[in-house]
Amino acid sequence: MEEIKDNNTNQSKKSNKIKIVVTLIITLFALFIATFAMYIAPDYQKEGTEDMINLIINNRNVTARMKNEVYIDDNGVIYLSEDDVQNYFDKYIKYYEDDKRLVTTYEDKIAILLGNNKYMEVNGKLQDIKASIITKNEIMYIPFSEMCESVYNANLTYINKEDNQVVIVDSVSREVKEATVNKKVSVKYKAKVLSRTLERVNKGDKVIYISSSDGWARVRTENGKIGYIKEKDIAEINVVREETIEKKPVEGKVNLVWDYFSEYATAPDRTGQTIQGINVVSPSFFTLETETGNIVENVGPEGVEYINWAHSNGYQVWAMFSNNSYKETTSVILNDFEKRQTLIDRIVELVEIYDIDGLNLDFEYMNESDKDSYSRLVIELAPRLKALGKAFSVDVTAPDGSPNWSLCFDRNVIGHVADYIIFMAYDQHGTSSKAGTVAGYDWVEKNINKFLNQEVVKNEKIILGIPLYTRIWTLSDDPEKDPSKTVEIKDVDSLIAGKGEKVWDDTLKQYYIEYKEGDNTRAMWIEDERSITEKIKLANKYKLAGVAFWEKDRESDGLWEIVDEELNKEYVE
């Protein structure tokens, strides 16, 4: 009996062990299944936008990041909210509440929509449209399908199949590749075999080829689904549309010289002259008229001859348009939409009449409060000039200066919109200051860094303005101001000859001279070939777009040869 009891006990223990092992195996298997499910679940999850109208822009589904949903009215007009248009197409889109006017720009187009009118003005010409701006739930919606091609330079496709509604926007400037599927395959949500199938495509179907990685091709199907198929399952990849490469206004570095003459003078006669290395001249053809705000054009027969001379020598002509520092007149124009558009229309007209190559906008001494309005002038003028294939450069002063001379510019916007932003790297010390250099090397470099880092302007957009003059100072007891007189660099040597010894300042990268003249002490921080060479090295160091010189006929003999040589050197630390 005792033996039977022991056997039963052993069998019971053995049974319990088996149960424990089985339970452990089941638990481990369950954990494995759960872990495996969690691992592959992301590859099978559905996106939260699948029940919405999806928006694909240049092969990127942006639906989940949109601020508002796509809206389609009963007439099939496709609307995007103003916020989404701003986010994806025009960061500078602006709605004027007073007159219900919407202004939007993109590359070489500016469009104006007014109120409920079923037309829009594109680059000054009226176009009929099927719909106007609408408001839904206090959100402004723009008739995007009416503007996509004519304003935003893109093709639009709307797909509406059962539960699949997709709006596809393809910029016409981008490359498009098409591939042929060589067998019936599943388009996967992710580049993995164990991933959800988005769609099945058949042998011979066409797909848009987006990219490839690790043996998988990212594609867009005819139904607008973006997913992955094995690269081996596609063939005949063809470029069906070439990328449009935007041509720069100037190939290589810009080497510009302003050619100033007042509105009371005529354009200089440059017949027979050449300027080595220069590829752009900027004559002062246009100025703002006080009171009326009209443009005073000072071209005439002499100006036409000047243009012919420049073109015959291979120089581009970027006519300078100055506001003559008429602060109040400038303010009136900038803050009135109609006046601003009238000014723009006239600029475009003059550029076409004289067949010049670009415009140099030189508005100075403006109200700080007009900063955004001035940016609007630049924003609205830029596409009109681009549509004509004309260059657009804008002159600005150093950042962080006085309200009316420095803080009136939004350099980030100007640098983004215009072809070039010209940093007039002068006057560090001007007529109303204590004695000092006009443009010290350290000051110029510090401000270049402000443009790049503080103002966030791309280096390839910045042209460094260099002065061809300095100042002779009379040192005084006035704690705020020393009298000074402008000296052209061609006259420096004759002015200081025999009056003292020049001393090189390696921080300013300039010679300094101080001497007695009667009862007065004179001082000069000299601009010459050496100091200008150092500034050109700065332009090369920071890979700027080029240099510009104020102004022609102030230069010393042989300067242009030096500029040409230095500008074409690679920077060496």
Q: SS3 helix, strand, coil % of the chain, rounded to 5?
A: 30, 30, 40
Q: What is the pLDDT of residue 43?
A: 54
SS3 state of residue 293:
coil
Q: What is the pLDDT of residue 36?
A: 47
Residues sharing a CB contact under 8 Å with residue 456, sequence separation 6 or more, in sequence order: 412, 415
What average pLDDT values come out for the chain (573 residues) when binned by 10 residues?
Answer: 54 64 66 51 59 94 96 97 98 94 97 93 95 95 97 97 91 96 96 93 96 96 96 94 93 97 95 97 96 93 98 98 97 96 97 98 98 98 98 97 96 98 97 96 98 98 98 94 97 96 98 96 98 98 98 97 95 77
Residues sharing a CB contact under 8 Å with residue 448, sequence separation 6 or more, in sequence order: 423, 462, 464, 538, 542, 544
**Alpha carbon distances (Å) from 27 to 20, 21, 22, 30, 41:** 10, 10, 8, 5, 20
Q: What's the CA gap between 412 and 51, in Å, rounded?
A: 40
SS3 state of residue 399:
coil
Q: What is the pLDDT of residue 9?
A: 57
On whether the CB atoms of residues 347 and 321 are closer than 8 A, the answer is yes
- In the chain, what are the domains? 54-155 (3.30.457.10), 175-241 (2.30.30.40), 254-467+528-567 (3.20.20.80)
Question: What is the side-by-side strand order in the sheet with 510-517?
Answer: 484-488, 469-474, 520-526, 510-517, 503-505
Q: What's the CA gap between 393 and 320, in Å, rounded?
A: 9
Q: What angle do CA 282, 374, 354 make, to 5 degrees?
A: 35
Q: What angle do CA 51, 57, 63 make, to 5 degrees?
A: 30
Compute the Cα dihedral for 15, 16, 17, 19 and give only its sign: positive
Q: What is the pLDDT of residue 163?
A: 78
Q: What is the pLDDT of residue 291?
A: 81
Q: Judge if pTM exceeds 0.95.
A: no
Tell me which amino acid residue 127 is.
Q
